[in-house]
Chain A
Amino acid sequence: MGILGDTTLAALNLLFSGNAELWEIIAISFRVSGVAILIATPPALLVAFLLTYKRFPGRRLLISINSTFLSIPAVVIGLTFFILLSRQGPLGEWRLLFTQTAMVLGQIALAFPILVAMGHSALQAADRRAWETARTLGANLIRAVFTIMREARFGLMAAFLAAFGRIIAEVGASMMLGGNILHYTRNIPTAIALESSKGEFAQGIALGLVLLTLAFTLNALLQHIQGKGQPVT
């Protein structure tokens, strides 16, 4: 068996033997990215809703700016927050650099434009009559907003999954803001980068398998959700 086969076998062994260090890294990844996506989603969807249903000066400019943020590399987000949170930075007194909170902040910044852009598309695709029907049937503003979110839920769920997939796999921001500290800020992508640089491929492959499994699960979920969202004929 070649080196790839041997390494994969060793990786599977690490995964299924319940290697504590490996599973701790996985847990940190899910915790940080889970918190980030949960914090980012409500305001991002609200912004997406306003961009869809409100006409105000500068709306198109905002949409363009948001779309620009979609293509910013994670490492640039990381660098920006690094400068903000470093000792000499404007938020240096918060002493957040190299903490999980800093990683969460970076991942929120990464997830936000994805949620806004995809949420905006999903809400635009929703039938305009849904909003008008809700309002004319007496729904107040908040109830009408939730109704539209419910009607567009399949598209919004796709936005949620896409954003989560993006942030749990990013390495640049986590590395710069978390510092890759074992038992604290080392997550899946930063661990893969570190182990690979040391020539320890087994753990890297094992963690890569976890990310692949996650990507597959998210995509399968997405397909399932989008299938459910097909119109009744």
Chain B
Amino acid sequence: MNAPLILTISALNKRFGKRQVLQEIELVLRPGECSLLSGGNGAGKTTLLRILSGLEKPDSSQIDMGNGFQSWRRSRADLQKNVLYLHQQPYMFDGSVRYNLGYALPSGLPKQLRNNMIDAAIDWAELNRLHDTPAKSLSGGERQRVSLARAWLRNPHILLLDEPTANLDQEARRRTLDLLRSFKKEGISLLLASHDPIHFSSLIDRHLHLYDSHLVKIEDQKLMQIPQLQSHVSLRSTA
């Protein structure tokens, strides 16, 4: 892991046509901190994650990654270098699990070192039985573990996960949470978008909620599971 990195987002706005999806978003992601991002369907959770990972252009924003505030356009290369985004349904490249894991490594690595690193990732994510299996044939839980193992090899400062436990059974969810816990221990900043905040109660340090295109912090942890009851929740507008 390189030197810790704090990502600060300010005045982030995004609109699709006439619809304002994100408005004046303020957000700080710190090393080793796990944040939960909730919000209804279409609230803008995925859009926010995609903007933070450099995949989607915002209408306006200021981003500080330790060198002062810059536009998203100027920060994009740094975002792509330091932030890793995992889709709700992870994409597996055509090839074996080993091939998929190897993709996360720089192409110039010596073969022996490359193989050792892939083996370590296989052990880390408990993929030993599956290493030669075509990745496209894996179940949802197995794909999630492969995608986390790829992230582990890539070793980002910030990991953004879109509904990481959606459609997983209890065992697959437990394994995913264990892997996320180990990311946190390694000092990686996690931002999880989820409809089911309760699943992550043992992992998260703070709960952010997207409501009416604004990002708010939910203070009362007991209310994590019912973020839709806005009027009863203590909200703070800076996150």
Contacts and interface: CB of A to CB of B under 8 A. Distances in A.
B150 interface: yes
Contacts of A133: 87, 90-91, 93
A198 interface: no
B94 interface: yes
Contacts of B107: 143
B154 A129 contact: no
Nearest to A153: B94
A195 interface: no
25 contacts: A127-B91, A129-B87, A129-B89, A129-B91, A130-B91, A130-B93, A132-B55, A132-B87, A132-B91, A133-B90, A134-B93, A135-B54, A135-B55, A136-B54, A136-B80, A136-B83, A137-B84, A137-B103, A137-B154, A143-B107, A147-B93, A147-B103, A151-B93, A232-B134, A232-B136
A211 B55 CA distance: 48
Nearest to A130: B91
Interface string A131-153: 01111111100010001001100
B134 A137 contact: no
Contacts of A147: 93, 103
Nearest to B134: A232
Interface in A82-137: 127, 129-130, 132-137
B137 interface: yes
A232 B137 contact: yes
Given A231-B136, A232-B136, A232-B137, A136 B94 contact: no
A151 B87 CA distance: 18
Contact of A132 (B85, B93, B106, B137): B85
Contact of B81 (A129, A130, A138): A138
Interface in B80-102: 80-81, 83-87, 89-91, 93-94
Interface of B: 53-55, 80-81, 83-87, 89-91, 93-94, 103-104, 106-107, 134, 136-137, 150, 154
Contacts of B154: 137-138
A134 B94 CA distance: 12
Contacts of B106: 138
Interchain residue pairs A-B with the least CB separation, the first 9: A129-B91, A133-B91, A232-B137, A136-B85, A137-B104, A232-B136, A136-B84, A129-B87, A132-B55
A136 B53 contact: yes
A136 B53 CA distance: 7
Interface of A: 127, 129-130, 132-139, 143, 147, 150-151, 231-232
Given A136-B84, A137-B84, A232-B137, A150 B94 contact: yes
B94 A151 contact: yes
Nearest to A154: B94
A153 B86 CA distance: 24
A133 B150 CA distance: 10
Nearest to A132: B55
Nearest to A143: B107
B153 to A, nearest CB: 9
Contacts of B150: 137
Contacts of A136: 53-55, 80, 83-86
A129 B154 CA distance: 18
Contacts of B81: 138
Contacts of A231: 136
Contacts of B83: 136
A138 B53 CA distance: 11
Central interface residue in B54, B80, B94, B137, by most chain A CB within 10 Å? B94
B91 A138 contact: no
Given A130-B91, A133-B87, A137-B154, 6 more contacts: A129-B91, A134-B103, A135-B55, A139-B103, A147-B103, A232-B134
A231 B94 CA distance: 10
Contacts of B134: 232
Nearest to A152: B94
A132 B51 CA distance: 12
A148 to B, nearest CB: 10
Nearest to A150: B94
Contacts of A129: 87, 89, 91
A143 B91 CA distance: 17
B139 to A, nearest CB: 12
